Amino acid sequence: MKVLNEIDISGLLEIKVVRAEPGDYSIIKELYDRVYQGKYTLPEVIDPRRNYEVLADENNLWLLAMKGDKAVGSLLTLIDKRYGIGKLIAAVVLPEYRNKGILKRLMIYSLEYASKRVDVLYAITRTVDIAPQKVLKRFNFKPLGIFPNVRLLKDYETHILFAAFFNEALRRRAEIESMITPVKRFYDVVKEELKLGDIPVNDNVSVPLVFKELEERVIERKGDTVREEYLRELRKEEVEGISTFQGKLRTLYFFPFHIPNYYFEGTGWKAFVYYSHLDKHSAIVTLRFNGLIPLANALKFISKRMDQIGAKYLELVIDARYPELHKLAYSLGFLPCAYFPAASNDFTKKPITSGVKVDQVVFTYPLTFPRLAGLKLTREAYNFMIAFLENIKDRLSSNLDTIEVFS
């Protein structure tokens, strides 16, 4: 461990901030077990292999607050230079060491570190307590959306998406010509927070209304073979760069910091999907498709299959410049839940170093109805929940027209 600083707090002498290294798994795991009674689910913490990969990647920064040989606080900053984005996760301090400036010191180091390496740093907070949301706002993180029922632990949890922006990332965003109403509801909340310009609504986007039900055999693989195949693709991208097209297949490529463990392939489409058996969270990490009908069949299959497997939440991220893809996903039951400005580098531009940033829209396929009781939300987060419920209402209302009523 490399000592970065010593915190001299009254009553808490000899608290050292250190950078964790490969081999520190047991120290890290012990801290989270103490705080969460062995019920913490993030693979970066609980999976020894994933923990080693994160610590071995010199782009990442895992800070520990140490009291002697025991960790009393922790904060991990993941960095993905391809997308120009970082993620702040796994913030924890032992109860007896809270409110003593430890997390603040870890945050200051992490923000300084990330700002020199990426344009955007995001974090996701729980809603069982208002404090994490207030902490992020104090560090100039902006709320961008809400994830209802994102994880199932003892009960369903709803999380809030926040992000901090560096290097004038918001000024370098690619132009968005129009958006559909369900997306605009989220954009309008974000727009007020970030002082962004208005974007017109266009709900007359043309998408196929009838999809051919394919009686096809979808290839399905899972486990380590899928993981290794995906990592091989990442290594290839590091050499050749990410492409939004692979042959004739268009790609939804943006879902950083997730390693998939499922692979599906049908006629004209193939997808890598992440699923956690512990908290029932799932996400479409990469989806390649040859046209809107294959995309529709892919989304229909994946949402149904993940439900069968046991997922309680399914997430998809789509480039904000393509409202036809938003309308297609929305027509199949995927609901916008966040709008993320300047989320990624623009891989349609060559070279990627052009500096153009792309907005992304986060969708969820609600496999369970949102649990609202007991949530603790800031005003902005509450407005996101209202937008989400308005979209649910519109979807249910549109389905009324398909009901056949008999005397």
190-199, 349-358, 386-395: range with lowest mean pLDDT: 349-358
Contacts of 191 (CB under 8 A, 6+ apart): 197, 198
Q: What is the mean pLDDT of residues 236-255?
A: 63
- Could you tell me if 277 and 339 are in contact, meaning their C-beta atoms sit under 8 angstroms apart? no
Contacts of 365 (CB under 8 A, 6+ apart): 303, 306, 314, 315, 316, 333, 334, 335
Average pLDDT along the chain: 89
Burial grade of 245 (CB within 10 A; 0-12, 13-18, 19 or more): exposed
The predicted structure's pLDDT at residue 10? 40
How far, in Å, CA of 158 to CA of 315, rounded? 13
Per-domain residue ranges of the chain: 2-118, 172-400
| pLDDT tens, position by position, 315-372 | 999 999 999 999 999 999 999 999 999 999 987 655 455 689 999 999 999 888 888 8
More confident residue, 126 or 178: 178
Whether 172-400 and 2-118 are alike in CATH topology: the answer is: yes
| pLDDT tens, position by position, 65-91 | 999 999 999 999 999 988 899 999 999
The predicted structure's pLDDT at residue 206? 83
Q: Which amino acid is at 397?
A: S
To the question of domain 172-400 being in CATH 3.40.1280.10, the answer is: no
The predicted structure's pLDDT at residue 263? 97
Q: Of the CATH numbers 3.30.1490.20, 3.40.50.300, 3.40.630.30, 3.90.280.10, which one belongs to the domain with range 2-118?
A: 3.40.630.30
Q: What percent of the chain has pLDDT over 70?
A: 90
Q: What percent of the chain has pLDDT over 90?
A: 70
What's the pTM?
Answer: 0.92
- Could you tell me if 281 and 151 are in contact, meaning their C-beta atoms sit under 8 angstroms apart? yes
Q: How far is CA 83 from CA 196, 279, 372, in A?
A: 22, 27, 33
How far, in Å, CA of 162 to CA of 142, rounded? 5
| pLDDT tens, position by position, 10-39 | 455 578 999 999 999 999 999 999 999 888
Residue that is written with structure tokens 């999809």 in the block: 211
The predicted structure's pLDDT at residue 256? 87
pLDDT for 238 beyond 80: no
pLDDT for 233 beyond 90: no
More confident residue, 157 or 147: 147
The predicted structure's pLDDT at residue 210? 55
The predicted structure's pLDDT at residue 178? 97
- Could you tell me if 35 and 135 are in contact, meaning their C-beta atoms sit under 8 angstroms apart? no
pLDDT for 250 beyond 80: no
Q: What is the mean pLDDT of residues 290-315?
A: 94
pLDDT for 7 beyond 60: no
pLDDT for 307 beyond 80: yes
pLDDT for 246 beyond 60: no
The predicted structure's pLDDT at residue 113? 96
How far, in Å, CA of 342 to CA of 336, rounded? 17
The predicted structure's pLDDT at residue 398? 82
Q: Are strands 269-275 and 245-246 parallel, antiparallel or unpaired?
A: unpaired
Nearest one of 272, 279, 281 to 313, comparing CA atoms? 281
Q: What is the mean pLDDT of residues 149-174?
A: 90
Q: Which amino acid is at 136?
A: L
Q: Show the CA angle centred on residue 313, arms to residues 308 and 319, nearest 5°.
A: 115
pLDDT for 153 beyond 80: no
Q: What is the mean pLDDT of residues 184-191?
A: 98
pLDDT for 235 beyond 80: no
Q: What is the mean pLDDT of residues 157-170?
A: 94
